[in-house]
Amino acid sequence: MQITKFLAVALLANGVVADLTFRAICTMLDMNFVQAYVNDKNTTTIACNRYKERNTGDKQHDKCPDCFMDTNGVSEFCHSPGEHIGEKEWGQYCEEAGADSNFSQGK
Ligand SMILES: *[C@@H]1O[C@H](CO)[C@@H](O)[C@H](O)[C@H]1NC(C)=O
Ligand SMILES: *[C@@H]1O[C@H](CO)[C@@H](O)[C@H](O)[C@H]1NC(C)=O
């Protein structure tokens, strides 16, 4: 659990953000751990599944047929190898899923 939190914090500190991203997480404010936003598996999973079903047009971020939860690593992310996750759109899905904030990373 601690390792997961450190990973999420390290990623947040990394701060690499593009318009379209290939991996993304929803985060919750964790008061027990330096009050940082940490990866929240529940809301990330909900947002990832909803984004996969998204079909709002023909732009790259309008559909995400390759969105999937990567649960193999220490931390869990919503992945899109083809970079179909739009940064703003992802944030909206996280918010709808009940997350406090969100983070996404480009290639
Ligand atoms: C996450 O989901 C599990 C299973 O649905 C639930 O038991 C747990 O309370 C949830 N955790 C949070 C922080 O909402
Ligand atoms: C998603 O995260 C970004 C960066 O922290 C933030 O600016 C944005 O308000 C968040 N979006 C939502 C809907 O919470």
Q: What is the pLDDT of residue 10?
A: 47
The minimum-distance atom of ligand 2 relative to the CA of 37 is 5
Q: How far is the CA of 60 from the centre of ligand 1 (A)?
A: 32
Q: What is the DSSP letter of 52?
A: H
- Ligand 2: residues with CB < 6 A are 91-92, 94-95, 101-102
Q: What is the pLDDT of residue 30?
A: 79
The minimum-distance atom of ligand 2 relative to the CA of 101 is 14
Residue 65 in 3-state DSSP?
coil
Specify the number of domains making up the chain. Answer: 1
Model confidence pTM above 0.75: yes
What would the two tokens of residue 12 be?
A: 């947040």
- For the stretch 5-23, pLDDT in tens is 545 554 544 444 347 889 9
Q: How far is the CA of 76 from the centre of ligand 2 (A)?
A: 19
Confidence band of 107 (pLDDT split at 50, 70, 90): confident
